[in-house]
Structure formats: C-alpha cells, structure tokens
Structure 1
Amino acid sequence: MNAIHLPDVAAQTATLNLPLDWVGMCDIAQSLTLEGQRISARADAGVSLDDAGARGIHMSRLYLALAELEQEELSADLLRQVLARFLDSHRDLSSSASLRLRGELLLKRSALVSPLAGWKAYPWEIHARQDPWGFHVELQLEVAYSSTCPCSAALARQLIQQRFAEEFADRPLERHQVLAWLGSTRGIVATPHSQRSSARLWVRLGGCTQIPVRHLVDMTEQALGTAVQTAVKRADEQAFALANGQNLMFCEDAARRVGGALRGEEWLEGFKLRVVHAESLHAHDAVAEYAWRYPL
C-alpha cells in the first residue's frame, strides 16, 4: 500500500506578506520536575514568524519539543535546550523563541512552636526567551506574609495608656491588680490592625543555572519575618501574635527589606518587586514597588 501524501497547508504562501512577532500555543498541560517535585504546570510556547511569505509555523514541532521538560530537573540549561529545538525546527522561519511556564511549588512549613507542619503553595512563573540578542530567563514568584500597621499599633498603645490612667487614677498600684487588669478586656482596650500581604518578585536569573524557587522563598520570608502559617496550635498562634507585634511594618518597610535582601544575591542580573498590604482598615490596598537593574 502506497503512503498517502498529506498536504502541508502551513507551507503555503501567505496571502498577505506580513511578519509576526509571536505565534504559538498557550495553556498547554505540562509535567515537569522543579525542586525535586513532580509538578503539573501550564506552558505557553511560541516563535516569531519572520518569513513574511510563510503562511504559518509548525505548532506540532513545538509541542513535541516540550517532551524534553519531562526528562530532567528544570534548569536554565534545559530551557535553553528546548528553545534551541524550537528554532531548529523552524529554521529560515523564526529568529526568536519563547517559553512561559507556570505552576505552584508545595513546600512543607513547620509551626513556630509546636511540632506541627503543613504544606504551603507558592505560585511561580518562568519566562525563557532566545532571540538574536541572547538567552534570557526570568522567574516570577509570589510569597504571602502578615503585616501589622505601625501607626495602628501606636494608636492602640495610646488608648491602653489612657485607659490605664483612668482605671488607676489616685489609686495605689498593686502588682497583682495590674497583672489582672492587663489580662482583661478592659486592659487591652484596643489592638492594632494587621492584614494578609503578598510580595511578588520578578527576577532575572543571569548566570544561575538552577531555578532557585525555594531559595528565593526562604530569603523573602526571612526578610519579612512574619510568613503566613499552616497547621497551628494555640502556642503557635500566640508566637505569631508576638512576632507580628515585634515586626511592625508599612508596605514601604516591606519593599525595602525584600529589595535589600535581593540586592545581596550576586547571581541576579536585576529584579523588580511589588508588595501589597490588603488593608483591613481601608477598602483599598497599600502598595510599594522597587526595581534594580530592571526596566519598568
């Protein structure tokens, strides 16, 4: 039986000669390994269509090249290898190729005091590009934390002072009475407001061959000091309240802390960050941004 010749419509001449910046596929289901974990991810893969006369690209070739992501731990070298396959399979058609991957990394986090632990998800995204100017990799990462407002804390302390002065005016102070008062609802008459907050990083990896998601998560949480928790007992909740009370910060403080920590990472080409404090006082968010060697 003779082989049937199948038409290649993509090889036909375009009816309108116009090169395209990017052609490809989005939201492809993809399995890969990151930080030793098998992860279900999503991929956007594409190339430029520089040949203005070509009707289209060969999308199946891009899809098949993604299989290499399943073979080994995700790294800058692996991303470069996949992009090289994109371009080799589109020789004379394309001069640039890109791959965007996104997913979540699960990290087990210990409680502050008790022996409990739980899983926390960290959304990440990687954008790799090969073009005539070179190879580029950017990692995006989101880290959640808690922030307590310094202004609110000062106002709460003032109210507690005022209530103390009213309760114990012209009275001799007995230690046990003061302790009992401090432990009552009349003593702690006001509390500062805190909110769940997030830090989003855009990091250019430079000469780093690995994809350092765990390292950046640990560094960011250490810089901020009050990462959100997973499994907790009352002792852990109390320790968390203490940590927040000793770690007051505006969004400006948070941005400077994370920015200072990132600038200490010599393997970075540059970065941008954005911190968001989802205000519990206001109906809007407090936001701060900082960039270093990164065009806005």
Structure 2
Amino acid sequence: MTEHKRLAGMPDIASHADPQVAGQLDWVGMNEIELPIMIDGCDGSRSQTTARVSAFVDLERPDKRGIHMSRLYLLLDQALAEHTVTPALLRHLLRDFLASHEDLSSHALLRLDFDYMVRRKSLKSDNSGWKRYPISLIAGLTGKDFSLEMALQITYSSTCPCSAALARQLIQDQFRKDFGPSGEVEAQAVLEWLGSEQGIVATPHSQRSAADLRLQLAPSFEAFPFEQMIDAVEDALKTPVQAAVKREDEQAFALLNGQNLMFCEDAARRVQTALMAQDRVIDFWARCRHFESLHPHNAVAIVTKGVEGGYKPIDGQPSGWRQG
C-alpha cells in the first residue's frame, strides 16, 4: 500500500464529522508552541532564541467541526527555520494560514513571545553585562488588512519624591540637633558630618519598577525596532537597571536616582513623551508599575497615545502585554 493510499484511508474527524453544536468560532489554534527563532540586531548581527508561539484562525463555517492545526504548525516550523523574524515574514505566514484554511477561515492571528538580550555598558567602569527584555510580536490579517504590534517590558528604578522630601526634613532636623539652631559652623565639621551615618539619618525609598508597552507599528517597515524603542524609553526614564556593577557604577546609579525622583505618574508621562516622538508607532498603550518597598501593593499609571476610539489590541488583551 502506498503512503498516499494509507493516509487516504485514515479517518479525519475534524474535516468530516459534524459539530456536536453548530456555531462560528472567533479563534481556534494553538499557543505555547516552543520553537527556535532568528532575530536580527540593530548592528547587523543575528541571534537565535526560543519563542513561545501562538497561532490562530477563525472558524466561520458553523457546519465544520474543526480546523487543521497541523497545517499551522508545519507552516510555522518551516518559515521560522528558514528566515529571520521580520514584519514581512509574519505577514507571509498569516497569508499561508488563511490559504491553508481557505474554505474555513478569513482571519488569522500570530503571536511570538521571547526574550531579547542586549549587552549594556556599565555606567562608569569599563565593564558590560547582558540585559533581558521580554518581547512579544503580535500580527493579525483580515483579507489584505495587516496589523502589527510589538510589546515589551523595560525594568527601571524609581525613587519616591515624597519619601525624598521627608528624608531631607529628617536630615535637617538631625543637623540642627548636632550643630545647634544658629551660629557659624566650620566647613570641615560639616563635611565630616555629611560623611557619617548622622548625615544620612533617613533615606528615601526606591524600588524596581517596570514599564509595560504595547506599540502598534506601521506595517510597512521591514525590520522590528527593538533597540530603538528600548533606548528611547530608557533614555526618557533615566534610571534603567544595571547589569555589571562596580562601586563607581553603583554611585553613578545613586546619583541618577537622586536626580530623577518620580512617582508612577511622572514615569508614565516620560514614557508617553518618548513614544509620541516615534514615527513608527501608530498608537500605544503603556503601563508603569512601581513595586513599592513601602507598601505591599504596587503604584500604577497607564497612558495611551490618545487615538480616537481608544487603543484596540490585535489579540484583545488590553490590560496585559504578555499571555500566560
């Protein structure tokens, strides 16, 4: 028996069996598919990483029981093995999804979740280290209408302005206690006091924080602006977390935090200003979360570009940027 005849004789329940209950389905497919992908860096380098992939089509035929999931997987496997991930590749894959289901579907959705690694120089020393940026690429196709999103998370440090003001007041009180309310004070004595524990009797609270971004990109661009968007937001926030740190780097980081006191509202406005200046970004949703060291809860601010009708994510996940 030939392979073709053997396969032809195998049952295909999804194609031939009637659905138990008739009805159209918005999305059918797979998520958490583990596949290697190739990513191009801004310097022309190419790197491989592992992605968790979601692939879906709609099922608009109420009389059909299911789709052909194996077709989606095989198309993904071949395309991602042969090409780097670009907007053009995602568009091509979505077209192939619909072509493989031309009698069943008219919408296709694709999502890739992966980590993008960037080597960052230390603030002062000659060292450098790796930083991880979680990235999601989300693409949708309806007819010829191609939509594209890039989501990412950027971790930074935030120092509370209110806490800083309260700490300064306590330092002033300690100064009056140690040197008296009035009169002349020798400069050397003040310098020595400032270098002692009394000179920093209170410190403002700081915390690791995260900017979660969803960016709707102009689909005409052929490369994803990973580092361009990362750099724009980190430059605006001023206090990105560091990898390799020596004492001089930690001191420089402390200075950056002291010069960039911010509530979550301040951080969100900085991110908004940075993204408004990006020509590639059609619309955006951004959330700044400060993982409070004072409270057992987070301080959160959310901002959008302000496009009429509000931000409409391709995959219908407005409150989050990465699927679980």
| TM > 0.5 | yes
3-state SS of 1:282 partner? coil
User: Residue 267 of structure 1 corresponds to which residue in structure 2?
Assistant: 280
Q: Which of the numbers 297, 300, 304 marks the counterpart of 1:287?
A: 300
Contact 1:206/1:268 (8 A) holds in 2? yes
Alpha-carbon separation, structure 2, partners of 1:223 and 1:274: 15
Alpha-carbon separation, structure 1, partners of 2:38 and 2:231: 19
Give the CA deviation at 1:209: 2.8
Q: Is 1:162–2:173 an aligned residue pair?
A: yes
Q: Is 1:177–2:181 an aligned residue pair?
A: no
Contact 1:273/1:290 (8 A) holds in 2? yes
Q: Is 1:10–2:10 an aligned residue pair?
A: no
Alpha-carbon separation, structure 2, partners of 1:100 and 1:234: 41
Q: Which of the numbers 209, 215, 222 marks the counterpart of 1:209?
A: 222
Instruction: Give, as a single letter, the amino acid of the residue that structure 2 aligns with 1:23.
Output: V
Give the CA deviation at 1:141: 0.4
Q: Is 1:37–2:41 an aligned residue pair?
A: no
Q: Is 1:81–2:92 an aligned residue pair?
A: yes
Give the CA deviation at 1:13: 4.0
3-state SS of 2:281 partner? coil
3-state SS of 1:64 partner? helix
- What do residues 262-289 of structure 1 show as CA deviations (whole Å, max 9, x unaligned)? 0111121100000001111111111100
Instruction: Give, as a single letter, the amino acid of the residue that structure 2 aligns with 1:136.
Output: S
Q: Is 1:249–2:262 an aligned residue pair?
A: yes
Q: Specify every segment of 5 or more residues in structure 1 that has no aligned partner in the other structure, as ranges.
A: none
Give the CA deviation at 1:213: 1.6
Give the CA deviation at 1:73: 2.0
Alpha-carbon separation, structure 2, partners of 1:196 and 1:256: 18
User: Residue 50 of structure 1 corresponds to which residue in structure 2?
Assistant: 60
Give the CA deviation at 1:72: 2.0
Contact 1:83/1:99 (8 A) holds in 2? yes
Contact 1:102/1:126 (8 A) holds in 2? yes
Q: Which of the numbers 92, 102, 112 marks the counterpart of 1:91?
A: 102
Contact 1:13/1:53 (8 A) holds in 2? no
Q: Which of the numbers 35, 59, 62 marks the counterpart of 2:72?
A: 62
Instruction: Give, as a single letter, the amino acid of the residue that structure 2 aligns with 1:85.
Output: D
Q: Which of the numbers 231, 238, 248 marks the counterpart of 2:244?
A: 231
Instruction: Give, as a single letter, the amino acid of the residue that structure 2 aligns with 1:203.
Output: L
Alpha-carbon separation, structure 1, partners of 2:236 and 2:183: 45
- Output the aligned Cα RMSD: 1.4
User: Residue 136 of structure 1 corresponds to which residue in structure 2?
Assistant: 147
Give the CA deviation at 1:171: 5.5
Contact 1:10/1:56 (8 A) holds in 2? yes
3-state SS of 1:187 partner? helix
Give the CA deviation at 1:133: 7.0
The alignment of Structure 1 onto Structure 2 pairs a total of residues equal to 296
Alpha-carbon separation, structure 1, partners of 2:158 and 2:268: 12
The ranges of structure 1 where at least 4 consecutive aligned residues each deviate by more than 3 angstroms after the TM superposition are none
Q: In percent, how many aligned pairs have the same letter? A: 49
Which of 9-18 and 276-285 deviates more?
9-18
- What do residues 220-273 of structure 1 show as CA deviations (whole Å, max 9, x unaligned)? 111100000111111111111111111111111100001011011112110000
Instruction: Give, as a single letter, the amino acid of the residue that structure 1 aligns with 2:212.
Output: R
Alpha-carbon separation, structure 1, partners of 2:200 and 2:34: 53
User: Residue 111 of structure 2 corresponds to which residue in structure 1?
Assistant: 100
Q: Specify every segment of 5 or more residues in structure 2 that has no aligned partner in the other structure, as ranges.
A: 313-317, 319-324
Q: TM-score, normalised by structure 1?
A: 0.96
- What do residues 92-131 of structure 1 show as CA deviations (whole Å, max 9, x unaligned)? 1100011111011111111100111111111111111111
Give the CA deviation at 1:188: 1.2
Give the CA deviation at 1:70: 2.4
User: Residue 219 of structure 1 corresponds to which residue in structure 2?
Assistant: 232
